[in-house]
A and B are shown apart, each in its own frame.
Chain A
Amino acid sequence: MNKIRTQLMLCGGTGCHSTGSIAVKEAINNELRRHGLNEEIQVIETGCNGFCALGPVMLVHPEGIFYQKLTIDEVPKLVEEHFLKGRPYKKLQYVDPASKETIPIMNDIPFFAHQMFWVMRNKGIIDPEIIDEYIARDGYFGVAKALKEMTPDQIIEEVKTSGIRGRGGAGFPTGLKWQFAKASPGDVKYVLCNADEGDPGAFMDRSVLEADPHAVLEGMIIAAKAINSRQGYIYVRTEYPLAIKRLEIAIRQAREYGLLGKDILGSGFDFDVEIYQGAGAFVCGEETALMRSIEGKRGMPRPRPPFPAHKGLWEKPSVLNNVETLANIAQIIVNGGKWYASVGTETSKGTKVFALSGAVNNIGLVEVPMGTTLRTIIYDIGGGIPKKKKFKAVQLGGPSGGCVPEEFLDTPVDYEAIVKVGAIMGSGGAIVMDESTCMVDMARFFMDFIQDESCGKCTPCREGTRRILEILNRICDGKGEPEDIETLKELSYTIKDSALCGLGQTGPNPVLSTLRYFIDEYNAHIFEKRCPAKRCVALLKFEIDPEICTKCGLCFKSCPSDAIEWKKKEVAKIDKSKCVKCLTCFDKCRFGAIF
């Protein structure tokens, strides 16, 4: 007999694992056993809950009570208070930073309240390592319907009606992509899942794989039926061991249940999936390079056409889709394309997941309906900028994208609208920057990444990115020349126009977008040899302005090399011979006295 009255959905995502959720799980189980509660209360390890910055987090089901920042020391108290005495344990509950009020129920917390969970509908609710839990949430209903009741054309029609576009960056209509691959002649075809998640600062795909791997498999099976493929591959970043492990378990269980392999659900349709691990090359996220890499070769892009729909993996027709794209498919099949298309804007349908991070209070995964404004994401969901600092820009689309300044924060999440303000939707990285981020340094950061990851096959990308990086390095080192800005623009446009693949074609975007909105910062570096954000070490004096210094001593306490002289009621002073230019004191001084 099942006596379980309460389930503790403890986050087992990568973020919470690293803040100690594995030990917390053990501690809770021990305490429950000690109180004889282990028969009625069960601990379930879920995938990422979304609110990673407060990890380890836990949801008490069915009440919906949310606990954060669990530690093994607090566990005995928590179990005693909540599960023995029946009073929620306040100390581990969420406190609204604005009103200072405790908010016990997860869905009442502003971070969650403005979101809409479609792709992440199972996050924090199921144990991703148990297929039955996925099935209990209508899992594999989409496969059953697609395989038994629908023709390939009907599937494609439904996906087209939904209006879904690729979530990997480019936003190509998914239904159309499938249609091309289906129309392409050939007996052998492949369905590929892009789980390379290259944007440094994005972790949506990883979380989906960790929290709900079957949703991705389901999407792949439906795609396979649509284009008539027998074999699929998931190309995963090697840096994602937990995602790989959960995928392996999911594939094994799906095979045991007859959901992968021969004659799926008795429909006569065969399809199986293999995992392929990447080996650390950003360019392998590009479709043609990814296919070369699965073939065991160097992952270098090749010119298109031929497009993968005609000649893809091993020269066979192939469909490549992003993790998040695939995770939407089953629900489109089950609920219909019209249902999906009812949410969003004219050209962008459904929801989009963002990995919100940087200078924002609530860091984590955020899923919003298309059309939501960036302001809602950053302020209502993200809780605004910490430490009373001023918002400067939000960076979307990583190294292929751009930054959006304050004046365009009311831009809706929509493929076209975001491009209009000089960024791209991208795969979902959203990094908030405040006044202490130097935008020239940011441009340099992305260019350093692009230059490092350029595969070197074509000259504009290989040489051009190197020259841009040299110039940006020079500017940050205080050796910028007036003509640098023009040269940067020229080089950027040349690379964009002549590079072979998307990496080069979009790589200069962060430079162009910072030039567009933050030309003042470039000018300050070049003409005044000054870094307004105080980040570029070569442009700082490492002195303290006695007029501004409030004599608080915070800098003195934080300096790792005893370079600051300070006594109570006295102005602080930096001994430059001891200073190692670590910038710690700049960060600590709340008054901006150090320059």
Chain B
Amino acid sequence: MNEDFQHPDITQDMLKEINEIISTNKNKSGASITVLRNSQNIVGYLPVELIDYISKGLNISSSELFGIASFYSLFSMIPKGKNTIRICLGTACYVKGIKEVMERISNQYKIKEKETTPDRRFSLETVRCLGACGLAPVMVVNQDIYGAMSSDRVLDVLDRYK
């Protein structure tokens, strides 16, 4: 394995962990998604160079691994902001007005789905049903779940995340 792999967002410790993940999964069939997931958990996203690096480690073609990473919406190849806003676009939340909440956020911070603010304060993501439909409309900021979200409350909530 190429030990002098370097990337501004990946520290030596991160790389060590990633190398371990690669070597434990190397000969397992069907491990590529697991390796990508765990690596993304460590770095926060999947830099293109890292995917290349992992493909060498797993001994599969890098185009195949890119194909996998782009197929699944879990994987992101661009860096995330400090705070991740996840908006539930499931049916229950939609019926109860999540679209207006989403629009307020987009207007205020000038970001669209899957984008990050230039100051990297917020990333905006959408999910399809968090399984908390009883609380619809639902928004999650980092690990905090907010139920009964409304367009007139959402900006106050986001104000707490600097």
Contact = CB atoms under 8 A, between A and B. Distances in A.
Contacts of A46: none
Contacts of B67: 298
B117 to A, nearest CB: 19
A423 to B, nearest CB: 13
A587 interface: yes
Interface of B: 29-34, 36-37, 67-68, 71-75, 89-97, 100, 103-104, 107, 127-136, 138, 145, 147, 150-152, 155
Contacts, number: 147
Given A279-B33, A280-B73, A281-B71, A357 B127 contact: no
Nearest to A313: B30
Given A297-B68, A299-B71, A395 B91 contact: yes
A456 to B, nearest CB: 9
Contacts of B90: 200-201
Given A281-B71, A358-B91, A239 B131 contact: yes
Nearest to A284: B72
Given A279-B72, A295-B29, A358 B92 contact: yes
Contacts of B75: 279
Interface of A: 14-15, 17-19, 51-53, 55, 197-203, 206-207, 238-240, 277-282, 293-300, 314, 355, 357-359, 363-364, 395, 398, 429, 431, 433, 437, 442, 445-446, 449, 455, 558, 560, 580, 582-584, 587
A355 B129 CA distance: 12
A583 B129 contact: no
B74 A279 contact: yes
Contacts of B92: 201, 357-358, 363, 431
A358 B95 contact: yes
B141 to A, nearest CB: 12
Given A52-B134, A200-B128, A357-B133, A560 B151 contact: yes
Contacts of A278: 72, 74
B95 A18 contact: no
B19 to A, nearest CB: 19
B100 to A, nearest CB: 5
The 9 closest A-B pairs by CB, nearest first: A52-B134, A201-B91, A296-B30, A18-B145, A279-B72, A200-B128, A203-B131, A200-B90, A357-B92
Nearest to A203: B131
Contacts of B152: 558, 560, 582, 584
Contacts of A293: 33
Nearest to A293: B33
Contacts of B127: 239
A392 to B, nearest CB: 10
B73 to A, nearest CB: 4
B29 A314 contact: yes
Given A201-B133, A277-B37, 13 more contacts: A15-B134, A17-B145, A18-B132, A18-B138, A52-B135, A277-B34, A278-B72, A279-B37, A295-B29, A358-B91, A431-B92, A582-B152, A583-B97
B33 to A, nearest CB: 5
A39 to B, nearest CB: 34
A442 B132 CA distance: 20
